[in-house]
């Protein structure tokens, strides 16, 4: 074997053992979401939105939102259009993972306007909301439109583009615990932190205060008084 052949064989062997090249951010260059790269999904979404605006009227979009349990009565035409495009492309929004209320899309991200309890409102916000794994309901006027074939492409939940890994449901929420709860404070601290939240020993600047029923009946502690 010549020296040139030995060098070529050595380089081939190194190529087999070397790992895939990664981008500067540490991710594989071929990283994708549901089989598509994030850039491709963004481009596809942009083209999809243009087609929807061109072929569907705002009234048809309102009808789509109403049929899929999304309020279309409030908001300007631009808001209705953004909501409808999001639902048609990514699928219908599921309930808030924290309080079970409806999520609302504002054109950039989804947020919840529900309540944690009688004292505090839900502050859940995310760019990667939970989606229902079910087909959209479409009115006849849309099914008979020129954009019907495009919409049918996204009717199958398994073929819809994904928006990446969801944010933990308690991200950005600070919780304070008070009184004897159903389990120890340490247990709930671990559970809250596991889901992205933080636990504070004081009520200053907290998002939510969890109080045992017994303590509430007794008039509450200093924490409860400070929170109120």
Per-residue pLDDT tens digits for 45-62: 889 999 999 999 999 999
Of 143-157, 174-188, 211-225, least confident by mean pLDDT is 211-225
DSSP assignment of 144-168, as one string?
TSTTHHHHHTTTSGGGSPP--SPPP
pLDDT digits (tens, 9 = 90+) for 195-211: 778 888 776 665 676 76
Instruction: Supply the pTM of this predicted model.
Output: 0.56
pLDDT digits (tens, 9 = 90+) for 112-121: 888 877 777 8
Please check whether residue 134 is in contact with residue 157, taking contact to mean a CB–CB distance below 8 angstroms.
Answer: yes
**Among 22, 23, 85, 15, residue whose Cα is nearest residue 50:** 85
Residue 136, pLDDT score? 85
Is the CATH number of domain 38-159 2.20.25.630? Answer: yes
What's the pLDDT band for 181 if we cut at 50, 70, 90?
confident
Domain segments of the chain: what residues?
38-159, 174-227
Residue 222, pLDDT score? 63
**How far is 188 from 175, CA to CA, in rounded Å?**
10
* Residue count of the chain: 228
Residue 164, pLDDT score? 56
User: What stretch of H or E contains 126?
Assistant: strand 125-126
């Amino acid at each position: 074997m010549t020296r040139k052949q030995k060098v070529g064989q050595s380089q081939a062997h190194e190529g087999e053992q070397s790992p895939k090249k990664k981008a500067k951010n540490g991710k594989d260059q071929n990283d994708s979401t549901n089989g598509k790269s994030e850039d491709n999904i963004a481009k596809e979404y942009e083209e999809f939105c243009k087609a929807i605006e061109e072929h569907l009227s705002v009234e048809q979009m309102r009808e789509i939102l109403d049929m899929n349990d999304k309020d279309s009565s409030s908001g300007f035409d631009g808001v209705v259009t953004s909501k409808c495009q999001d639902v048609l492309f990514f699928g219908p929004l599921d309930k808030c993972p924290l309080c079970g209320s409806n999520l609302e899309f504002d054109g950039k991200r989804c947020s919840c306007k529900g309540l944690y309890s009688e004292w505090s409102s839900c502050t859940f916000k995310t760019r990667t909301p939970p989606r229902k794994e079910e087909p959209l309901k479409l009115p006849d006027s849309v099914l008979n439109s020129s954009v019907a074939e495009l919409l049918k492409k996204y009717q199958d939940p398994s073929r819809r583009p994904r928006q990446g890994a969801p944010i933990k449901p308690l991200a950005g929420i600070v919780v304070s615990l008070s009184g004897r709860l159903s389990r120890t404070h340490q247990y709930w601290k671990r559970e809250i932190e596991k889901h992205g939240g933080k636990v504070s020993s004081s009520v200053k600047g907290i998002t939510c205060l969890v109080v045992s029923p017994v303590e509430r009946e007794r008039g509450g502690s200093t924490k409860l008084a400070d929170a109120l």
